[in-house]
Amino acid sequence: MSATTNTLPHDWQEGRRLRALELYEAGWKAIRIAEALGVTRGAVSQWLKAARAGGREALRRRPRLGQQPKLTAEQRAHLPALLAKGAEAYGFLGDVWTTARVAAIIRQAFGVQHHPAHLSRILAAIHWTVQKPVRRASQRDEAAIAAWRAERAPSRSDGPVWGPERWPALQAKPKERSGQSSSSMKRPSTLYPS
């Protein structure tokens, strides 16, 4: 880059815009600048228009601001202390934090409403993980399941549970093919009898 540039570009796109301005100041036409930089003539035209209106700084990278966070830094710092109390302390059944539960606690404590899908990002930022509850039937009998596994379930040492070694009568027999190929076979016409 030339000596007219005060600082180095932040990224290659900013460098390309600044280079286009330098080439224009050196007397190049916009079409030649576009060819040299591998961009459209319209992009070069927009860059040069911005440089005429705001100078070299108009071609610099500007950070995208986006929407301000709903939770303040203090609220975000206080969130781990709220979650450390456990889900049952807030009246939930089971001590598991889901995004829907965290959303309810944030709404209750701070008056801020977040979509549960977005809360996984917030929880990751404070180094918490979302927990998924184990869904099991309320009638589940753990003792009966353990007894069945010990007595009746096949073990891996017995060999494969399914396969030709286990049930030889179920082995598939190969199909016998006729000598004709599919192209020489005639299909009967039931729609248009001849």
Mean pLDDT of 140-149: 86
**pLDDT computed for residue 2 by the predictor:** 47
First to last CA, the chain: 83
Q: State the pLDDT confidence band at 1, using cuts at 50, 70 and 90.
A: very low
> 56-88 pLDDT, tens per residue?
888 888 777 778 888 888 999 999 999 999 888
Mean pLDDT of 144-161: 71
- How is the chain split into domains, by residue range? 12-59, 73-125
Q: In this structure, are residues 76 and 112 in contact, taking their beta carbons and an 8 Å threshold?
A: no
Q: In this structure, are residues 128 and 87 in contact, taking their beta carbons and an 8 Å threshold?
A: no
> 14-52 pLDDT, tens per residue?
889 999 999 999 999 999 999 999 999 999 999 999 999
CA 31, 34, 40, 42 torsion-angle sign: negative
CA 114, 119, 123, 126 torsion-angle sign: negative
Average pLDDT, the chain: 80
